[in-house]
Amino acid sequence: MLVELSIIPVKGSLRLREPIAEMLCIVDRSELPYQLTPGGTQIEGTWDGVMALVRECHEQMCKHSPHVFTTIKIEDEVGVENKLLYKEVSL
């Protein structure tokens, strides 16, 4: 399964460097394959693994902003793995 994640704080400080760095550390620590893109972060893994990571990132951003807008796009193709390595993906 491939997910594109984008989290945008709507209110709060305009200083986003620290919250974004914290989320990147969370993604990196997950050990799931990921790729940063201009529109979000693409993450590959199982449903449970990816959704737990999405939740953790969302909750981390909520610590910095009282209003957070999180979007996810899901591409799920049975039996296909390593999409980030072998194919340019456009979600």
- The first and second tokens of residue 43, run together, are 């993450």
pLDDT on residue 81 = 83
pLDDT on residue 61 = 93
Q: Which CATH number, 3.40.50.970, 2.30.30.280, 3.30.300.30, 3.30.70.930, labels domain 2-78?
A: 3.30.70.930
pLDDT tens digits for range 20-58: 899 999 999 999 999 999 889 999 999 999 999 999 999
46/83: higher pLDDT: 46
Neighbours of 34 (CB within 10 A): 20
SS3 content of the chain, % helix, strand, coil (to 5): 35, 25, 35
Instruction: Confirm if 3 and 74 have CB atoms less than 8 A apart.
Output: yes
pLDDT on residue 13 = 65
| Domain layout of the chain by residue ranges | 2-78
pTM to 2 decimal places: 0.85
pLDDT on residue 46 = 94
